[in-house]
Amino acid sequence: MNDQHHFFDHSEVPESLSDRLILASEAVVRYRIAAYRDRFDLTEIHYRLLTQVAQHSPITLGHLARLVNRDCAQISRMVKALIARGLLANGRLPGKQAMAIKLTSVGREIHRQMARIGLDWEIAVESLISPEEIAMASTAMERLYDAARHVLHDDPHEGRVGKDGLGVGYAATADARLAAFAAQ
């Protein structure tokens, strides 16, 4: 990897805040994703699945899909692949029809190693940023998350998109909503 991959190219910074956040997030996790793929032949979403199963075991497919914000069909395919690799096991919850998913001992060990890679990478990235910048970024991310949820919650046409690409009913009142939120 050459030096151009290590620096934010300010000549090509997107104007959209959400696009800039995605670009920054991708840069931060690029190494971690490559390490997961190279070392375990797994992806970031596989790590997220293993993490959720570790935290909520035994867990149903539907609950797992909601936690990782994916549809059940996608999660079902990924879970089957992880079961085939011996990282997950499935059974039934007592007295229930739903499949219960849990980590195997191999899955627990792989998850532990993946978590260590992620933590080491985060420590390395944070060592290059001042504590004040980390605190400001954390506060800004919390505010952005809250603002996005606020706009989504208040949009009476949530999920519907108009010709302008914005949520129906949102475009006309976006400035007023953001001003009201900022005043809180």
- Torsion sign (Cα): 3, 136, 117, 148: negative
Q: Which stretch of DSSP H or E encloses residue 62?
A: helix 61-67
Name the β-bridge partners of 90: 101
Pick the CATH number of 3-128 from 3.90.105.10, 1.10.10.10, 2.40.30.10, 1.10.540.10: 1.10.10.10
| Tokens describing residue 138 | 């954390």
pTM: 0.67
**88: exposed, middle or buried (Cβ count in 10 Å: 0-12, 13-18, 19+):** buried
- What's the rounded Cα separation, in Å, for the pair 114 and 121? 11
> 7-61 pLDDT, tens per residue?
555 567 777 888 888 888 888 788 889 999 999 999 999 999 999 999 999 999 9
> 81-114 pLDDT, tens per residue?
999 999 999 987 677 777 799 999 999 999 999 9
Picking from 123, 101, 119, the residue whose alpha carbon sits closest to that of residue 54 is 101
